[in-house]
Amino acid sequence: MNVAKKIISQHLLSGKMEIGHEIGLRIDQTLTQDATGTMAYLQFEAMGVPKVKTKLSVSYVDHNTLQSGFENADDHKFLQTIAAKYGIIFSPAGNGICHQVHLERFGVPGMTLTGSDSHTPTGGGIGMLAFGAGGLDVACAMAGQPFYIIMPKIVKVNLKGKLGDWVSAKDIILELLRLQSVKGGRGKIYEFSGEGVKTLSVPERATITNMGTELGATTSIFPSDDITRNFLEKQDRKASWVRIEPDENATYDEEIEINLNTLEPLIAAPHMPDKVKKVKDLKGIKVDQVGIGSCTNSSLADMLLTAETLKGKKINKNVSFVISPGSRQVLATLANSDALFHIIESGARILESACGPCIGMGQAPKSGAVSLRTFNRNFEGRSGTKNAQIYLCSPEVALAAALTGEITDPTNYFNKKPLIEMPEKFLIDDAHFQLPPVDGSNVEVIKGPNIKSLNEFVPLDNSLNGKIVLKVGDNISTDHILPAGAKILPLRSNLPAISEYVFAAVDKEFASRAKSTSNGIIIGGENYGQGSSREHAALAPRYLGIRIVLVKSFARIHLANLINFGILPLTFDDLSDYNKIELGNEIEFEDIKNIIRENKTVYAKAKNSKIKVNYNLTQRQKDIIFAGGLLNWIKKTAN
């Protein structure tokens, strides 16, 4: 077996490991963050389970840390108290970014992890089978329910050779995005193998698995080997290590080869992570802002490289340069050495250990700015400035731009890359994690006025007459559907309020039009719902009355979220039929519930024509949609 199948087979609760078939997995660990966690815990609370049933669940505060009003602080108090009540470790603001911290302190090779954040596959860097998911799926896992996925293909990524000076792990994943595209990973697990794996540290591996999410992949994973053991030993967690490597005769469904010897510094141009180009081909473009951080590149190794490279140098006067250490541990280590001094003396601005600019929480660039970021997404408007030109790159490329004021190939600008010496032991201080009491049944859960109870949604009707309330193109992200940022993120626990912003950046009239329409229908192109795992991108449209989304193809997590909230996901059988339907058209789905129940063909009747549409649903998913959503289905099956 390969690594992925070894872990799947050990956690398989239902189904068979056959490509395209639904499987249910036992989940060992969960994580949430504060932008998605509040709703996830409201959902968990509604299930009536007295305590989480996972081996470990952690609630992180790392997204909504800008407290310009009471809403975020209220959510943090809710998360703190509900964690104490239900047996969850609470990681308050300041501890760091969930994926970085989980890698350092909690991740265990060979275990399964689901998180209400799409970049949860970061855990694959230490050999975890880690999945991003909607908050409701994570709540179900905490309640002891299986986590369901469609059995993916396992793709071997054979890494040959060794990276050259000023070429980094970020360039490996950018190369894979160049080869595969943002939708090339759908229905796949990327498993990294080959001699090049032995040259990559755990933080470098985690950079790759983190950004594997942008491929649309189910997840990504590295073996757990001696390098993994060394990382865990330095974290004083040697007991957590187990060796997990592929068998010598392991088979894969596909194979890709990347030669690290010939890899050059790469950069993703606006506005998509797969618009990858060689840095040398864009040299000379003036840069206004540079950011190093996010869950992709905020490790101690990234920060020490930054400090060594900036030693004795000054940031270009035309560049705003910000640094976000990934965790309290990383920041404390920098502060305990000369490294932080060198960073500050260069003219860099130090941000708190949080997601910050990556989620649009501050540091929006000036109008029309060119911003180079070591982050994982560069969707249009995600930075907070709609006309900003956001590029994704490695810390090496970011540093060269920060010093020169323009896009610069670091291999031609710097001398030999400094040798970064990692400490023998990391600075370990777990005092700020709040462990739950043995019995939290008497803990009072505190809910501020912005936290609204969940709505109940009605079951699907036998027949459905609807109207097209929006038509969009390819690669619509969850940022398009429901933006993040300092204005909207604080409303994540207030469904009526946040629903007013659905598709606000695409069509300002969408929310009012949807609310005034009975049974709204959305039409979309390829890869609909890519990006973040935010379930609000399905929940809020459902609140506005959306019952069907008909597209050319879906991204995995968003598809699951639509089903969880009772929205019927359909795809065009003939992609050219997309051109036959326009905004405002009336669509009729006659006897659709019985047709789907009996596995018959569904036709959409529009403008005197019949359009064949497909539904790829398991029986469990059908039952969820028929019931009006996953919570309804759980309550129904529990009785």
Cα gap 479→481, rounded to integer Å = 5
Contact 128, 147 (CB under 8 A): no
Locate CATH 3.20.19.10 in the chain.
Answer: 464-638
pTM: predicted TM-score of the whole model, two decimal places: 0.94
Cα gap 48→26, rounded to integer Å = 20
Beta bridge mates, 193? 158
Cα gap 206→296, rounded to integer Å = 7
Looking up tokens 């956690």 gives: 11
Buried b (16+ CB within 10 A) or exposed e, 411-445: bebbeebeebebeeebeeeeeeeeebeeebeebeb
Contact 305, 420 (CB under 8 A): yes
Instruction: Show the tokens assigned to 94.
Output: 């300041």
Locate CATH 3.30.499.10 in the chain.
Answer: 3-262, 266-413
- Determine the topology of domain 464-638 in CATH: Aconitase; domain 4 (3.20.19)
Dihedral (Cα; 75, 79, 80, 83), 10-degree rounding: 170
pLDDT at 396: 98
Nearest to 397 by CA among 515, 509, 285: 285
pLDDT at 638: 66
Nearest to 409 by CA among 142, 583, 164: 164
Question: Which DSSP string corresponds to 87-123?
Answer: T-EEE-TTSB-HHHHHHHHT--TT-EEEESSTTGGGG
Instruction: Show the tokens assigned to 409.
Output: 């190939």
Instruction: Show the tokens assigned to 133.
Output: 């998911």
Beta bridge mates, 528? 554
Instruction: Show the tokens assigned to 134.
Output: 């909607």
Contact 321, 348 (CB under 8 A): yes
Sites in the chain below the pLDDT cut of 50: none
Nearest to 138 by CA among 52, 80, 65: 52
Q: Where are the beta strands (DSSP E) in 347-428?
A: 349-350, 370-373, 389-392
Contact 34, 75 (CB under 8 A): yes
Beta bridge mates, 390? 371
Buried b (16+ CB within 10 A) or exposed e, 249-282: ebebeeebebebeebebbbbbbbbbbbbeebeeb
Residue type, 269: A
Pairing of strands 12-14, 56-60: unpaired
At residue 19, φ and ψ (nearest 5 deg) are -55, 130
Q: For the domain bounded by 266-413, which CATH number is listed?
A: 3.30.499.10
Give SS3 for 549: strand
Nearest to 218 by CA among 370, 70, 7: 7
Positions marked catalytic: 62-63, 117, 377, 532, 534
Class of domain 3-262: alpha beta
Nearest to 56 by CA among 97, 136, 115: 115
Question: Which DSSP string corresponds to 116-142?
Answer: SSTTGGGGGGGT-EEEE--HHHHHHHH
Cα gap 417→531, rounded to integer Å = 33
Contact 193, 223 (CB under 8 A): yes
Cα gap 414→308, rounded to integer Å = 12
Instruction: Show the tokens assigned to 72.
Output: 């975020």
Contact 552, 474 (CB under 8 A): yes
* Burial (CB count <10 Å: 0-12, 13-18, 19+), residue 500: middle
Cα gap 523→466, rounded to integer Å = 12
Instruction: Show the tokens assigned to 415.
Output: 């001398």
State the alpha helices, DSSP H only, in 423-477. Answer: none
Nearest to 528 by CA among 498, 565, 488, 561: 561
